[in-house]
Amino acid sequence: MTGTEPLLPPLPDAGWSRVLCVVAHPDDMEYGTSAAVAAWSARGVEVTYLLLTAGEAGMAEPPDVVAPLRAAEQRNACDEVGVGDLLILGHPDGMLEYGLALRRDIARVVRTVRPDAVVTANFDLEAYGGLNQADHRAAGLAVVDAVRDADNPWVFRELAEVEGLSTWHTSALLVAGHERPTHAAAVEEAAVSAAVASLNRHEAYLQHVTGHPKPEEFIPEILRGGGVRAGVDHAVVFRVYDLGGLGS
C-alpha cells in the first residue's frame, strides 16, 4: 500500500455455513489461505477441500510413491485447520487440462457440497513473482466456469438426471493470492499458528524443495501484510466476485 489507498473492507462471511476450496495440488491452500479456513472452522463453518490432482509429479520419487504420501500429508494439514472433508479427484499432476471433463467434475462437487462460497487460487498468467504454473491456471479457469455450470440446469444435465444432483447457486467466488484483492478476512493469532502448522505438515514436500523458507518465517509475514491492507493485525486477502447474494 502507498498510504493513500483505502483499507480493504471485511469479507461479508458472517452468514456462511459451508465453504468449498478448490485447488490444483496438495499444499496450495497452505500458503496463507488456510488461516482463513482455520478461522471459519473455529466458528463452525464446514469447509471442504477439493484437490484436482494428487500432486504426484511434484517430487523426485515415482508418482505411485508420491501420490499417497502427499495425500497423507494433506490430510494432516487439514487436521490443523479443522477440515474434515478432503476430496482428491486424481487428474494428472502437471498435465491438468481445462475442459468439459474438469468443469463437470468440479460442478459435481459444488452441487454435492452446496457451499455458500467457493475459494480458489490465483490463476493469472503472471503470479507469485513470476509465470504461474500451468495447473494453477487450468484449475482457476475451470473453477470459475464450474461454479456457474453448477447453477445451470441445462449444462451437464446428467448430473441431475442420472446422479440426482440438483443445481446449486454459490453466492461468492474468492480468489486467494490475487494482486488486486477487494476484501480481507481478519484472523487471530490462533489461526496464524494453525496456518503455519498446516504447511509444516507437508514435511516430505518441503524437504524436497531446495531452499524453501520455514513456514513460521514467512506465513505470519504474509498475513501481517494482509492485515496492513485491512487495518488489523493479520488478515487473508481475497479478490471476491459477488455471484448474487453475497453476505445475505
> What is the pLDDT at residue 11?
98
- Report the candidate in 107, 97, 161 with the shortest Cα–Cα distance to residue 135: 97
Residues 6 or more apart in contact with residue 116 via CB below 8 angstroms: 13, 15, 16, 17, 18, 19, 170, 171, 172
Which residue positions in the chain have pLDDT lower than 70?
Answer: 1-3, 247-248
Is residue 177 within 8 Å of 123, Cβ to Cβ? no
- Report the candidate in 146, 167, 145 with the shortest Cα–Cα distance to residue 157: 167
Q: Which pTM value belongs to this model?
A: 0.95
Check residue 185 and give left, alpha or beta (phi > 0: left; psi -120 to 50: alpha). Answer: beta
Q: What is the per-residue pLDDT across 89-130, written as a single tens digit (0 to 9) for each?
A: 999 999 999 999 999 999 999 999 999 999 999 999 999 889
> What is the pLDDT at residue 1?
53
